[in-house]
Structure 1
Amino acid sequence: MAKQNWLESLKAAKKTALVQDGKRKVHYLFSDGKEMAEEYDAKTHELLVRKWRQKSSLGAYGQWEFEVGEAPLSGSALQQDFLKESSANPVFIRKDTKTSFQWRIRNLPYPKEVYNVSIDKTDRCCVIRTTNKKYYKKFSIPDLDRCQLDLNDSALSFAHANNTLIVTYQKPKEILSIEEGLAKELKSMKTNADGDVECKTQ
């Protein structure tokens, strides 16, 4: 079963964990050489960051690709103002809750009735359109892809407040079951205390 395969691959991955700055940071190294790093709130256990990277054909590590959360601005990026995106551009970020996948698109000032959020089952993705043709976005849900789960129209909803469109997809029971299994696995791991070691994913 695909669901089981993903949980088994998480369990089989080489893992290191530490608690630092109120976050539990977990690093996974998979048998195919891919790396995944996650950060959880140490108190609520909510997922804050999930990012991936893999080696190129020459053996060098590529950039971290963020699946959940957003990359922190580095000092060099802050200095290069001329390269910075306009602060008025829409910013698309995934930020999950315990029971749902959630995406926030900031800098979208249009009223709620302008947005249309739907599922494209052929391409296995969610689609955001606006009737004023000002914004269009297609995005997949990697968690469902990894477990080969179908997208369900009734799980999708959206809201709009403070110039931010919030798209919510209720997690199916299979995903909740995997997250519960992973939480048990992580709790059983020895975790280095705050500040004892550097997280090797940094």
Structure 2
Amino acid sequence: MAVQRWSELLKSSKKTALISDGKRKVHYLFADGSEMAEEYDMRTDELVSRQLRSKTKLGGAGQWQVEVGEAKPSAVLSTETEIKENISNPVFMRKDTKASFQWRVRNIPYPLDTYSISVEPSERCCIIRTTNKKYFKKFSIPDLDRCQLPLESAALSFSHANNTLIISYKKPREVLTLEQELMRELKKLKGTNEGDVDCKTQ
């Protein structure tokens, strides 16, 4: 079963933890050389960010890909006009809760009935469309892909407030169980405090 395979991959990976700014930061190194970095809120145990990277064809470290959380803005912005444009463009990001995978599209001011969000099981993705043709987005749910679980239309819901479209997909029972098991494992890790590391280097 794919859920079991992913669970075993996580358990067998080399994990290191760091406690900093109220977050538990965990780094996973898998047998094939690929890596995953996650941050959890210490208070709620909610996943704050997740990034993954694989080895390049030449064996070097690839670029980090943001799966959950906000991508760090590019440091190079050539002109002021570019900055102004970026501020008003819709921003798509994933920000999960304990019970749901969740995505937010910020800077999207249209009323709720403008949006149509559908699950496309054959393509293994969800699609956001607007009746005014101003926004279109296709996105997958990697967690379900890794566990080879089906996409269900009934799990999807959405709302709109403060110029932000919020899309929720209820986590299947298998994913919730896996996440609870993983959190128990992570809490057993001897996480060093960032403060401790600083003390040693002084």
- Indicate the TM-score class for this superposition, using the shorter chain for normalisation: over 0.9
Q: Alignment partner of 1:87: what SS?
A: helix
**Displacement of 1:130 after TM fit?**
0.5
Q: Distance in 1 between matches of 2:146 and 2:163?
A: 32
Q: Distance in 2 between matches of 1:167 and 1:53?
A: 26
Structure 2 residues not aligned, in runs of 5+ = none
Larger deviation, residues 82-91 vs 39-48:
82-91
Q: If the length of structure 1 is used for normalisation, what is the TM-score?
A: 0.92
The one-letter amino acid of 1:7's match is: S
Q: Distance in 2 between matches of 1:129 and 1:14?
A: 41
Q: Distance in 1 between matches of 2:8 and 2:197?
A: 27
The one-letter amino acid of 1:97's match is: T
Match of 2:108 in 1: 108
Q: Distance in 2 between matches of 1:81 and 1:27?
A: 36
The one-letter amino acid of 2:104's match is: R
Alignment of 1:1-202 (within 5 A): 1-73=1-73, 76-77=75-76, 81=80, 84=83, 86-197=86-197
Q: Alignment partner of 2:76: what SS?
A: helix
Q: Distance in 1 between matches of 2:176 and 2:113?
A: 32
Q: Alignment partner of 2:194: what SS?
A: coil
Q: Distance in 1 between matches of 2:33 and 2:80?
A: 35
The one-letter amino acid of 1:173's match is: R
Aligned residues: 197
The one-letter amino acid of 2:25's match is: K
The structure where helix makes up a greater share of residues is 2
Kindly report the root-mean-square deviation, in angstroms, between the aligned alpha carbons of the 2 structures: 1.6
The one-letter amino acid of 2:151's match is: L
Q: Distance in 1 between matches of 2:78 and 2:73?
A: 10
Q: Distance in 1 between matches of 2:33 and 2:81?
A: 36
**Displacement of 1:61 after TM fit?**
1.8
Q: Distance in 2 between matches of 1:189 and 1:86?
A: 40
Q: If the length of structure 2 is used for normalisation, what is the TM-score?
A: 0.92
**Displacement of 1:195 after TM fit?**
2.4
**Displacement of 1:66 after TM fit?**
0.3
The one-letter amino acid of 2:175's match is: I
Structure 1 residues not aligned, in runs of 5+ = none
Q: Alignment partner of 2:43: what SS?
A: coil
